Structures are given as structure tokens and as C-alpha cells.
Amino acid sequence: MRIDILTILPRLLEGPFADSIMKRALDKDCVEIHIHDIREYSTDKHKKVDDYAFGGGAGMVMTIQPIADLIEKLKAEREYDEVIYLTPDGEKLEQRMCNQLSLGTNLMMLCGHYKGVDQRVRDMYITREISIGDYVLSGGELAAAVLTDAIVRLIPGVLGDETSALSDSFQDQLLAPPVYTRPAEYNGRKVPEILMGGNLKAIDEWRHEQSVRRTQERRPDLLDHPEK
């Protein structure tokens, strides 16, 4: 898979892919991530990428020209499965969307800023608008990093068997059960007895019960809408 991320703040995206599972995915050529600085495509003599909103109001709007030129260049080079705009007014990200996006070959992600991009960019190029939750970030970069991480870890070969994505919270609409490691006792707190015996069937049942209980307590909405 190839992911192209379009941003006015490329440095914000240096950290998230430099370590751990994302780094391994890049090293193993499971994914290519290309960060593009929108400002480099501005034909304005001061490299401006934003302007006042028509109709007034506070906040600047990202202009069409540099974004359109960059998107046109990329689209001429390859076909994209989706051109995603990260925006708080997009569709709320869920695991099933990540599962679907992980099957793609080329994805483009445009990070919004200020009051957002000129609506005509959205009308002309964007195939999907995604928010990562009901809160406001100062820009789409961290959201693009979240989305990329959630997608890349699903690509075959990125996670080992021992950390299979299939056992994650949300893959089966249940939260994950509690986990424990050594020591078996810490300041008088003991690991549940059942995990210390070797009865794998009993352990599986216990974990499932714990998952259901946690989901009932913390996210009953997941149990109410099993199709989601």
C-alpha cells in the first residue's frame, strides 16, 4: 500500500511513523508513506496557502491552487482508491472503515487547517471525509496519523501472529479483557487464579466473560448495535 499525506505542517508527521509497528511496516515495505508539503506548490510569491473567507467571519480558509496542483500531479501518477479529507465534520472513524481502507492500494489524505479548505476542493477531489471523533483538533495531521496507524497495522505481514489484529477490541464488537504479566503478586495484588492454571478452555471462557462485562459497563452502545 502507498499513502500520500498532504499537509501544511509536514514536521507534525515525522514522529508518528518513526517507531515501533509503523517503522517496521515501512522497513518491511508493507507500506510507503509520502508526506507532501502543500506550501511548496503555492504559486503565490509569498507561498501563501490560505486567505480570508468570502462572506466574512473569523478564521482563514485553505486556498484551492496549491492543493489542486498537488492532487492533480499525484492523480496523474497513479489511481487512488480514496482521496480522504480529515475534518471534524466528516464521517466518524470506526474499525470497519479501517478494515475496508486497509484493502486499498493507493490512499491520499488531505489534512485540513484553519477554518478548513475551500469547498470546491472537496467537491472536485474528495471521495471520503473522515473525523476521528467528536472533539476538535488544531489540524488534521494527528487525525491522519491515527487513521494511517489504524489502517497499516491491518495490512498482512505488519503484525506478527502473536499480536494478531483479529483479537483487538472492536473487531468482534467487544472490548479487550484485562491482561497480566509477571510478577504473579505485586504489593498483595494477585493475578486471577484462573490465568495461572493451564486450562486453556477455562481461560478463554473467563476472558470472554470479562470482555462482555467490560463492554456492558463501559460501552453498552456496542452491544446495542451489533451491526456497527
Q: How far is the CB of 159 from ligand 6GU (least distance, A)?
A: 25
Instruction: Among 12, 84, 107, 132, indicate the residue that binds ligand 6GU (CB under 6 A).
Output: 132
User: Is 137 a binder of ligand 6GU (CB under 6 A)?
Assistant: yes
Smallest CA-to-CA distance from 1 within 122, 168, 171, 158 is with: 158
Q: How far is the CB of 94 from ligand 6GU (least distance, A)?
A: 13
User: Is 116 a binder of ligand 6GU (CB under 6 A)?
Assistant: no
What is the distance between the alpha carbons of residues 150 and 199, in angstroms, rounded to a whole number?
Answer: 33
CA 180 to chain centre: 28
Kindly identify the residues of this chain, within the stretch 68-107, that bind ligand 6GU according to CB under 6 A. 86-88
Q: Which stretch binds ligand 6GU (CB under 6 A): 131-139, 164-172, 190-198, 209-217?
A: 131-139
Give the residue with the Cβ less far from ligand 6GU, 144 or 174.
Answer: 144
Q: Which cell numbers in the block locate residue 72?
A: 492533480
Q: Where are the beta strands (DSSP E) in 69-150?
A: 82-92, 106-111, 128-131
Kindly identify the residues of this chain, within the stretch 206-225, that bind ligand 6GU according to CB under 6 A. none
| Binding-site size, ligand 6GU (CB under 6 A) | 13
Q: How far is the CB of 93 from ligand 6GU (least distance, A)?
A: 8
Write phi, then psi, for 86 (nearest 5 degrees). -85, 115
| Contact indicator for 44, 98 with CB cutoff of 8 Å | no
Residues in the chain: 228
Q: How far is the CB of 85 from ligand 6GU (least distance, A)?
A: 8
As separate numbers, helices (DSSP H) first and strands (DSSP E) second, the chain gives 8, 9
Give the residue with the Cβ less far from ligand 6GU, 58 or 166.
Answer: 58
Handedness of CA 26, 129, 65, 145 (dihedral sign): negative
Amino acid type, 14: E
Q: How far is the CB of 41 from ligand 6GU (least distance, A)?
A: 21
Q: How far is the CB of 208 from ligand 6GU (least distance, A)?
A: 32
Give the residue with the Cβ less far from ligand 6GU, 35 or 174.
Answer: 35
Half-sphere exposure of 4 (CA within 13 A, CB side): 22
Q: Which stretch binds ligand 6GU (CB under 6 A): 31-39, 44-52, 125-133, 184-192?
A: 125-133
What is the distance between the alpha carbons of residues 24 and 158, in angstroms, rounded to a whole number?
Answer: 7
What is the distance between the alpha carbons of residues 13 and 56, in angstroms, rounded to a whole number?
Answer: 32
User: Is 136 a binder of ligand 6GU (CB under 6 A)?
Assistant: yes
Enumerate binding residues for ligand 6GU (CB under 6 A): 86-88, 112, 131-133, 135-137, 139-140, 143
